[in-house]
A and B are shown apart, each in its own frame.
Chain A
C-alpha cells in the first residue's frame, strides 16, 4: 500500500472530496500510517486530541463507558475519518475508539493538519463546507424531533 492508495482513501472522505490531489498527497505524506492490533485503543475518552485518524483497512468501534460496561455508539469501516472534530475544536476526546479487528489507519497530526488548513484555503473551505453540512443535518434532525 503506498501513498497513492491513501490518497484514494482520502478522496472517499466527504470533507476532502473537492480538494486538489496534490494537496491530498501532501496530507497523506505528512501523516503516518499506523497499525492497531485487535482491541488496541486509538484513543480514550478524555485524552488530548492530538490527531485525526482515517481508517484504511479494518474496523473500529466508538464507545462510551456506561454503568454496565461500554456502550457502542458506532462501528467505523474503511475510509471513515474519526477524531477530526476534536482537533478542530481543540477539546478532549468525547469518546473512546478501539480497533475491533487488526486495523490500519492514517494518523493525521493535529499540528500538521492545522498548518495545512492555514496554508491552503481550498482545504479550509472544504472543511467548513463539511461542518456546515453537518450543522444543517443536525438542525434538520432537531426540527424533525420537535415536530415529530
Chain B
C-alpha cells in the first residue's frame, strides 16, 4: 500500500517547501511522502541505499564517491582555484630578494619601477600577462615594502582558503559518518534471527561508536587530500624544476624513494592494526558479557577468573600496541632522515650552482623555501595512503558484520487486511539447530476466536504461537488466511495487526507510560515544524526526516482522541489487571510538574489546606509540623531548614552542601558556621563514643550513625587535631592579637577542610529524633534568618539548584505526597505516620484526586530493562502494551506466568470477555486447568499440534454440545480425527463458531 502512493508523491509531499528553500537537497530529495516514511526510516531515505547490501558498497571509495561526489568535486575545485595564489606566494620571495633587495628591477639606472602591474611572472602555460592596471611608480624601498605586503596578503588569502577547505572537509566527513552510522543501525534492525543469535550487543555498539569513527575522519580526506596535497606538492616540484632542473630532479629522486620504501614498511603495521581492532572489539564484547552476567559471576565466585581473563586480554592488546609503536616510530625515523637529506643536498649543490653563477641567490632562497613546503604535503600524502589502507581494512571488517546473508529482506508493500477469516496452517514445520520443533502441522482456525494452546511441556506450543505471531518464520509449510499466504501481508501491517507478549517482557529505560505506548509510536507527526537546516542535513546524510523528539503516538490505533484519553485507557487496563494500587503509590512518590499538570497542581494546593483543616478537626494537628517560611521546622533536618526547599543539584544534596561556596558564604556571614562546627564536634564525639567496637559494615551504622565505620578514624583525627591546637593556643597565651596571628598562619581551631567535614555532620540533624540536645531557640531563629539570606544569595549567584517551598506553589522537585502534606510528620508521637496516612487517603478519596495521582504514577521510571519494577509489574506493562494497540490477533506466550496462577486466571477472564468478537486471542497454556474457558483448544504433543477441539465450558455454544460434551475424552477423539482430515473437521468447527 505504501509504494504506489509514495511514488506518486515523490516530488510533492511534506518535503517540497524545504527542498525549495534549500536547493542543495533537491538532488537527493527523491524519497518523500509520508507513506514511505517507515521504509525510509529503516533504510535511510536514499533509494540507492535499498540495494542488497543495505547501501554499503564493497569498496569504501565507491561508497564515498556515491554519497559525496558533489561535495568532493566542489572542494577539489576550490583547492584548484587556490593553487595559482599558492604558486604566487612561492614566487614572491624570489622577487623580493632579486628585484627589491638586490635591485635587479633598477638595473638600468631607473630610480623607480612599476609595481602592481598585475604581472606576476606566470609560466606560459598558465596564461598571458594581464595588464589590467599600469601599476604605480615606486622606488626600491617602496617596492620592497609593497612586495612584502603582498606576500603577507597572499599568506592571509591562502590561510582563508585552507580554513574553508578544512571546515568543508570536516563537515563532509561528519556527514558521511552520520550516514554510515545510521545505515549500520538501520541494518541492525534488519538482522536475521540467526545473525542476532551470533551478535553481541556490546560488539555491535563498539562498531557503530568507535570503529567507524576513523572511517568518518578519513572520508573528508579521501579524495580531497590527495588532490590538494598532490597538486600542492606538484606545484612546488614544478616550481623547483623551473628554477633549476638538477635541483628539481634531486628533490624528485628523494621523494620517489620516500614513496616507494615507506609504504612497504607500513604493510606490517596494517596487519597489526587489524589484529588490534579485532582484539579490542572482542574485549568490549567480553566486558559487556561480564556486566550483563555480573550476578552469575558473583554467585559463582568467578571474579578472580574473570579478572584474570580480562587481564590476559589486556596483556595481548598491550603487546600488539607495543609492536605497532616500535614499527611505527622506526618508519618515522627513516622518513625524517630522508626528508632531512634533501636540504643538505640543496645547500651543498644549490650553493655550488649559485657560486658558479648558474643560479641566482634569489632562486636558491626560493627553491629552498619551496622545498621546505614540499615534505609536509608528501608526508601527509604518505600518511593518507597508510590511512587509506587502514580504513579500507576497517571498513571491510565492519562490512563483514553486515553482509546481506545476515539480513532479512526489506519490508515490501503488501496486503493490509484484517486478520479475520479462515486461518490455516499447511504442513508447517520449524527446524531448530538441535532438531525439528514442529513437523508438518496442519490445522484450521476460524478467526476471530479465543484459542488456547495446551503445552505438553515441550517447545512446540510456544513455537506454534510464535509462528502465528510471525515471530518465527516456518522453515516449511505456510500459514494462510482465506487462502492468502500471510507473507503477502506487509511487515508493517502484520506488526500492527498482531501483538505478541512473551515470557520475558522487554522494557526500555523510561517511564511506565513510555513503555506502554511503545507499540503506538508508529505515526510520525505531520504538523510539527522542522528546522529547514536540520531537514536539509538529514536529507544529505540519508537520515530519517521525521521530526524527533515529537509525539509519535498513534492515538487512532488505540481508539482514543488524545493523550489524556490514552492515559485513562492505560490506567483502566492497569487497574483491571490489578496494578492500579501500585501505580497510585508510584504517583504519590512521583513529581508533579506544574507545567504539565496545571490542574492537579492547583488542586494539590487546595488539598494542602484541606489536609491541615481535616487533621485539626480530627484533633491531630500536632502530628504534622507544616513548612512555614518564618519558622524553624523541628521535624526537618538542619539542611532542609536552611534551604527551605528541595535541592535539584547534587552540589546542594546531603553533605555536599557543606562545600557549596554560596552556602558557606552565608553560614560565615551569619556566624552559623561556628555553631555548626561545634555541633559537628559534639556529634562526632558522640558517634565515636557509642559506635566504637561495632564491626564496620554493621547494619546499625547504616541505619543510625552520622558516620560510616571507615569515617570514624578520620573524625577521631579531626578532633585530636583540635585538641592539640587548643592546647598549643593555651600555652602561647590568648591575647586577641595572638589569636588573629594564629588564625592567619593557619593555626585556627580548624583547617578549612576539617571545618567542612564537621559542618557536614549536623546538616542531617533533627533534634526530636537524635536527641543530642544541640539545638536551642536562638539557633532556630538564626537558621530562619539565614534561610532568607541563603535564598537571596543563591538567586544572585544564579546557579539555581533549589526548588524552594512556597505555601502557594507546588514544589516540583518534591514527591507528590510531600506536596500534599507540605510539612513533616511528628515522628515522636506514637502511630503518627499511620494516622496521617489514613487522613490523607480519606482526603484523596473525598477530593477525587486518585485518578490524577495515578496518572502521575505513569511517569514512574522503570529503570534499565525495567529493573525498578517487579517481574509481575513488568509482565503487566508488557501485556498492557500489547492490549492498547487493539491488535487483530493477540498472542500470549507465557506472558501471564509471572503473575501467579490466581491472578493469571483473573486476567485471563478479563481478556476472554474482550476478545473473540472482533479480535482473536491465542494463549499458550502450561496445563489443562484453564483450557475449558476457551472456545477452541489446540494441544501440543511432541512436534505436533492437535486440534482444534471445543471444550465443554462456558465458552462453548449450546449447539456444540455433542462435539464437546466432556473435556478430556471427546477432545482426544476430535484431535485424532483432526490429524487425519484437517479440512472437513475444521470446516465443521468453523461453521459451529459462526453459528
Is B773 on the interface with A (CB-CB < 8 A)? Answer: yes
Q: With CB as the reference atom, state the residue of chain B lying closest to A7.
A: B690
Instruction: Decide if A4 is an interface residue (CB 8 Å cutoff).
Output: yes
B357 within 8 A of A: no
B698's partner among A22, A33, A119 (CB-CB below 8 A) is A119
In chain B, positions 792-830 with a C-beta closer than 8 Å to chain A are 827-830
Nearest-CB residue, chain A, relative to B829: A35
Q: Please name the residue on chain B nearest to A42 by beta carbon.
A: B830
- The residues of B that contact A32 with a CB separation of less than 8 Å are 769, 827-828
Q: How many contacting A-B pairs (Cβ < 8 A)?
A: 59
In the complex, which residues of chain A have a beta carbon less than 8 angstroms from the beta carbon of B695?
119
- Which residues of chain B (818-852) have a CB below 8 Å from chain A? 827-831
- Whether the Cβ atoms of B830 and A29 lie closer than 8 Å is no
Residues of A within 8 A of B521 (CB): none
Q: Are A33 and B772 in contact (CB under 8 A)?
A: no
A27-66: which have CB < 8 Å to B?
A: 28-30, 32-36, 40, 42
B699 in complex: contacting residue of A4, A115, A120, CB < 8 Å: A115
B710 beta carbon closer than 8 Å to chain A: no
A1 interface contact, C-beta 8 A: yes
Select A25's contact among B686, B698, B773, B829, beta carbons within 8 Å. Answer: B686
Q: In the complex, what distance in Å separates the CA atom of A107 from the CA atom of B703?
A: 16
CB of B692 within 8 A of CB of A22, answer yes
Residue of B nearest to A107 (CB): B830
- The answer to whether B689 touches A25 (Cβ under 8 A) is yes
Number of interface residues of A (CB under 8 A): 25
B768 lies within 8 A of chain A by Cβ: yes
A40 touches B830 (CB 8 A): yes
Chain B CB within 8 A of A26 CB = yes
For chain B, the count of residues having a C-beta within 8 Å of the partner chain is: 24
CB distance from B94 to the nearest CB of A (A): 91
Query: Are the CB atoms of A2 and B773 closer together than 8 Å?
Result: yes
> Which residue of A is nearest B699, CB measured?
A115
State whether A22 touches B828 (Cβ < 8 A).
no
CB distance from B832 to the nearest CB of A (A): 9
| CB <8 Å contact, B690 and A119 | no
Query: Across the interface, which residues of B come within 8 angstroms of A40, CB to CB?
Result: 830-831
Closest residue of B by beta carbon distance from A106: B771
Contact of A29 with B828 at beta-carbon distance under 8 Å, contacts A1-B771, A3-B773, A22-B689 already known: no
Q: B828 contacts A34, CB within 8 Å? A: yes
In B690-749, the 8 Å CB interface with A consists of 690-695, 698-700, 703-704
Using known A-B contacts A3-B773, A119-B698, determine if residue A33 contacts B768 with beta carbons closer than 8 Å. Answer: yes
CB distance from B831 to the nearest CB of A (A): 8
**B:768-790 near A, CB below 8 Å:** 768-773
- A88 CB–B CB distance under 8 Å: no
Contacts of A2 in B (CB 8 A): 771-773
A32 and B700 CA atoms in complex are apart in Å by 14
Which of A23, A32, A116 has the most B CB atoms < 10 Å from its CB?
A: A32
Find the A residue at minimum CB distance from B769: A32
Q: How far is the CB of A33 from chain B (nearest CB, A)?
A: 5
A4 neighbours in B (Cβ, 8 Å): 773
* B691 touching A26, Cβ below 8 Å: yes
Name the distance in Å between A39's Cβ and chain B's nearest Cβ. 12
Whether, in the assembled complex, A112 has its beta carbon less than 8 Å from a beta carbon of chain B, the answer is yes
Given A35-B829, A36-B830, A115-B699, also A30-B704 (CB < 8 A): yes
Q: How far is the CB of A95 from chain B (nearest CB, A)?
A: 18
Task: Report A-chain residues with C-beta under 8 Å of the C-beta of B770.
Answer: 3, 29
User: A23 to B773, alpha carbons, bound, how many Å?
Assistant: 19
B690 x A22 contact (CB < 8 A): yes
A42 to B831, alpha carbons, bound, how many Å? Answer: 9
Contact: B690 with A35, CB < 8 Å?
Answer: no
Please, which residues of chain A bring their CB within 8 A of the CB of B700? 26, 30, 112, 115-116, 119
Contact call B690/A25, Cβ cutoff below 8 A: yes
Interface residues of B in 644-679 (CB under 8 A from A): none
Per the bound structure, the CA–CA distance linking A119 and B697 in Å amounts to: 13
Q: Are B772 and A3 in contact (CB under 8 A)?
A: yes
CA of A22 to CA of B690, assembled, Å: 5
- B838 to chain A: closest CB distance in Å? 15
**Distance (Å) between the CB of B762 and the closest chain A CB?**
15
Question: Which residues on B sit within 8 Å (CB–CB) of A35?
Answer: 828-830
Q: How far is the CA of A112 from the CA of B699 in the complex (A)?
A: 9
Nearest to B698 among chain A residues (CB) is A119
Task: Convert A110-129 into 0s and 1s, putting 1 for each residue whose CB lies closer than 8 angstroms to a CB of B.
Answer: 00100110011000000000
Bound-state Cα–Cα, A136 to B703, Å: 38
Tell me the A77-116 residues at the B interface (CB within 8 Å).
Answer: 107, 112, 115-116
What is the bound-complex CA distance between A35 and B772, given in angstroms? Answer: 18
Q: With the chains together, A40 CA to B622 CA distance in Å?
A: 15
CB closest chain-A residue, reference B770: A29
**Nearest A residue (CB) for B831:** A40
A132 to B698, CA, bound (A): 29
- Which residue on chain A has the smallest CB distance to residue B704? A30
Min CB–CB distance B708 → chain A (angstroms):
16
Q: Output the nearest chain B residue to A4 by Cβ-Cβ distance.
A: B773
Instruction: With A36-B830, A119-B694 as known contacts, state yes or no: A29 contacts B704, CB within 8 Å.
Output: yes
Q: Are B690 and A26 in contact, with the CB atoms below 8 A?
A: yes
User: Whole-angstrom distance from the CB of B664 to the nearest CB of chain A?
Assistant: 29
Report chain B residues within 8 Å CB of A3: 686, 770-773
By a CB distance below 8 angstroms, the chain A residues around B692 are 22
Contact assessment for A33 and B828 in the assembled complex, using a CB-CB cutoff below 8 Å: yes
Rounded to whole Å, the gap between the CB of A139 and the closest CB of chain B is 36
For A33, the closest partner residue in chain B by CB is: B828
Q: How far is the CA of A58 from the CA of B600 in the complex (A)?
A: 45
CA distance A26 to B692 in the complex (A): 10
- Closest-by-CB residue of A relative to B691 is A26
Q: Is there an interface contact between B694 and A34, defined as CB atoms closer than 8 Å? A: no
State how many angstroms separate the Cβ of B61 from the closest Cβ of chain A: 71
Residues of chain A contacted by B831 (CB below 8 angstroms): 40
Nearest CB in chain A to that of B767: its residue:
A2
**In this complex, which of A4, A30, A36 has the most chain B Cβ atoms within 10 angstroms of its Cβ?**
A30
Chain A nearest CB, measured from B969 CB (Å): 52
Q: How far is the CB of A17 from chain B (nearest CB, A)?
A: 18
Which of A1, A23, A29, A120 has the most chain B CB within a 10 Å cutoff?
A29
Other A-B pairs, 4, CB within 8 Å; known A40-B830, A115-B700:
A29-B770, A33-B768, A40-B831, A120-B693
Cβ contacts A to B, 14 pairs, < 8 Å? A2-B773, A3-B771, A3-B773, A22-B692, A26-B691, A29-B686, A29-B690, A29-B770, A33-B828, A34-B829, A35-B828, A115-B699, A119-B693, A119-B698
Chain B interfacial positions (CB closer than 8 Å to A): 686, 689-695, 698-700, 703-704, 768-773, 827-831
| 9 closest Cβ pairs, A-B complex | A2-B773, A26-B690, A34-B830, A25-B690, A3-B771, A36-B830, A30-B704, A35-B829, A2-B771
